Structure formats: C-alpha cells, structure tokens
Amino acid sequence: MNSLVQNAVITGTGKYLPPHLYTNNDIAEILGHPLKDGLETKLGIKQRYFTGKDESTADMAVKAGEQAIANAGLSKDDIQLLIIATDTPEYITPATSSVVQGRLETFNAGTFDLNASCAGFVSGLEVASRMIQTGAYRHILLIGVYNMSKFVDKSDSSALPIFADGAGAVVLSGTKNQDRGFMNGKMIADGTQYDFLGIYGGGAKNPMNEERLQKGEHQLTFLKPLPPDRNIKIWPPLIEEVLQSQGLNYQDIDHIFFTQINKMVIQEVMKIIDLPEEKTTYIMGEYGYTGSSCIPIALNKALSEDKLSPGDLVLFVGSGVGFAVACAAFRW
C-alpha cells in the first residue's frame, strides 16, 4: 500500500428512485392473479418503483450523479471520469455515459460504460479505485443504474414482481491517507452461463426485426432456471479470498453489502460467514430488485442510518447474469 501514489476513498453518495410506486397488491392487480408467497417470504420484496414512459436510464443516472457530486462537496468541473454501470442502457450506442456526461455538464470527465450485468457497480468500484491509485485521476463518478421495467413483459408473472428501477452513485476520490479506502477486489466469471437469463434480441447476434419483436425477444427472457444456491456457494469463498489477501477474516468485517435479489440467500450467507444480520443492509423490501443500482442505494441507506464509522472494514459483493461476480473491500 505504501508504494501507491494515492488511494481511493468514497467521498460522496447519491440515489434516485422514480416516482411510480407499485405495491405487491398493485402488481397482482396488473397480472390478474395473486403473487407467489415466496416473493415476500423468500425474496423479501414488498414494493418497487418503475419509471414512466417519459423517464429513462440516463434521467435516473443524472439525478443520482448530481446528488453524489454535491454530497462529496465537489463541483461538476472536478469530475475527471464518469463510469456508468448498467445493462439497461439508454441506447445500444452511443454509450449512456456520454449522454449523462452531457446532461451533468461534467465536461472535464472522460466516459465509458461498464456492463457486467448486476455485478457492474462492484466491478466499477475496483476499476475506478485502481485507476485512482495510479495517480492519473483524482475524482471519479461511478453510477449504477437499472431501468429493467422497460424490458419486462407486463404479463410475465415471473419477472414483473421482481424487477424494479433506480440509480445509485458514488464519487471516489484520491487520498494520501494510506490507512483508508480501497484495499483489494476480485472479479470472477463463468461465461458458459450466458444463456440463462437476458435480453437476447436487438444486438448484433439477433438484430431486431418484426418477427423477433412479435416473439418478445426484445424483453427480458428466462431461458434456463437459475441455480438457487449459486450465490450461497460462490460468495463466501470469494469474500474469504479478498480478506485473506489483506491478512483478515470474516470476523473483521464491520459491514457488508450484497446484491439485493434474494433476502433468504443473504441471510444464509451471513450465517455461513458467521456475522450478525445487523452487519448488512437490506433494501429489496422498499425498492424491489434494482440490479446494478441496488448496492449503491443500500450504501446510501446505511450511511443515512449511521451504520458506518471511520475505520470500518466494508465489503461490497455483487452478482449478475452472464455469469459475473465481484467483491471489493474498503477501509471506511
């Protein structure tokens, strides 16, 4: 650590949820039948927010980004790089980060999009942190944003109750204090699992045409059942590897954030790593599953509830289809 030019610390956060709130009863009315009991008892989802027809991925990202910049005590001119983590982009091309940069007027910032599905935000934490550690960047704005309601069939009882919209943002800044900030991270993947769940129409492999549109290939599609215990098996050893690289173990963790897709899975992992539930934060009950934005939204909530203190060991763990997983450790 002492050889670094500077380390990366999170200096500001922001979040945005669209205005349209749908309870589980509302979704049941749309579908015309009761929802599965497991939606609340297993996944932990009670309500969610959707964008309307006039609000999109970039709109949400801008609002979360503005908050994070202000929360960090910076101006738009201080941002040198803007990274958007999303798999629900504004367009196939140009990049969503280009659109957001123009609206935020962060004209001193370079831009790129990062698509690691729902592992995108945590992957972005590591990427941004290592870029800051080189000394080339002082302030980076990272935004996780998810607008999956635009891609869900409103008659799909498997998808509509789960997926939701939102944006969460952080500013990462350089610091000379080597006792704070990014410690280490790890990304893993299994690309043979690309054909489990996704949006398979509209790209270069399956360009959109009338036939594909009629088949609904432009929408989120389940092709194979997702293994229910996949994260239970993968998260603990990944966390352990990142901790051991720093001479630490599970018991050193002060707070840990997970992808908010399944509350029971998180509870099981917390048992495996022998941590009390107060050392994690849940948001799926309030916001549904918000993909690449769920972890920064959870971070924002934890900070608002004074759950993090200086010197805390904080971990972020994200999983997404593809299959991609990322873990990042910070000293708060």
The CATH code of the domain that includes 325 is 3.40.47.10
Last residue of some domain: 132, 147, 179? 179
Do residues 165 and 255 both lie within one domain? no
Assess whether pLDDT exceeds 90 at residue 4.
no
Q: Rounded to the nearest 10 degrees, what angle do helices 57-71 and 96-104 cross at?
A: 50
pLDDT tens sequence across 128-180: 999 999 999 999 999 999 999 999 999 999 999 999 999 999 999 999 998 99
Do residues 167 and 186 both lie within one domain? no
Mean pLDDT of 307-311: 98
Whether 262 maps to a domain, the answer reads yes
Do residues 93 and 189 both lie within one domain? no
Do residues 16 and 143 both lie within one domain? yes
Whether 267 maps to a domain, the answer reads yes
Burial class of 99 by CB neighbour count within 10 A (0 to 12, 13 to 18, 19+): buried
Residue type present at position 305: E
Assess whether pLDDT exceeds 60 at residue 2.
no
Do residues 107 and 165 both lie within one domain? yes
Q: What is the DSSP string of 101-158?
A: HHHHT-TT-EEEEE-BTBTHHHHHHHHHHHHHHTTS-SEEEEEEEEEGGGGS-TT-TT
Do residues 85 and 30 both lie within one domain? yes
Q: How many Å from the N-terminal Cα to the C-terminal Cα in the chain?
A: 15
Mean pLDDT of 277-288: 98
Whether 223 maps to a domain, the answer reads yes
Query: Which pLDDT belongs to residue 149?
Result: 97
Query: Above pLDDT 70, what percent of the chain?
Result: 99
Do residues 191 and 283 both lie within one domain? yes
Do residues 122 and 67 both lie within one domain? yes
Range of the domain at 50: 7-179
Q: Rounded to the nearest 10 degrees, what angle do helices 294-304 and 120-133 cross at?
A: 70
pLDDT-derived band at 268, boundaries 50, 70, 90: very high
Do residues 267 and 202 both lie within one domain? yes
Do residues 250 and 174 both lie within one domain? no
Whether 22 maps to a domain, the answer reads yes
Assess whether pLDDT exceeds 90 at residue 36.
yes
Last residue of some domain: 128, 159, 179? 179
Whether 226 maps to a domain, the answer reads yes
Whether 2 maps to a domain, the answer reads no
Mean pLDDT of 224-230: 89
Average pLDDT score, the chain: 96
Do residues 165 and 238 both lie within one domain? no
Query: Which pLDDT belongs to residue 228?
Result: 85
Count of CB atoms situated within 10 Å of the CB of 298: 25
Query: Which pLDDT belongs to residue 1?
Result: 42
Whether 1 maps to a domain, the answer reads no
Assess whether pLDDT exceeds 70 at residue 326.
yes
pLDDT tens sequence across 64-82: 999 999 999 999 999 999 9
Considering its fold, how many domains does the chain have in total? 2
Last residue of some domain: 145, 179, 213? 179
Query: Which pLDDT belongs to residue 269?
Result: 98
pLDDT tens sequence across 5-30: 899 999 999 999 999 999 999 999 99
Mean pLDDT of 231-258: 98
Q: What is the DSSP string of 147-216?
A: EGGGGS-TT-TTTTTTB-EEEEEEEEEEES-TTSEEEEEEEEE-GGGTTSEE--SSSSSS---HHHHHHT
Do residues 234 and 157 both lie within one domain? no
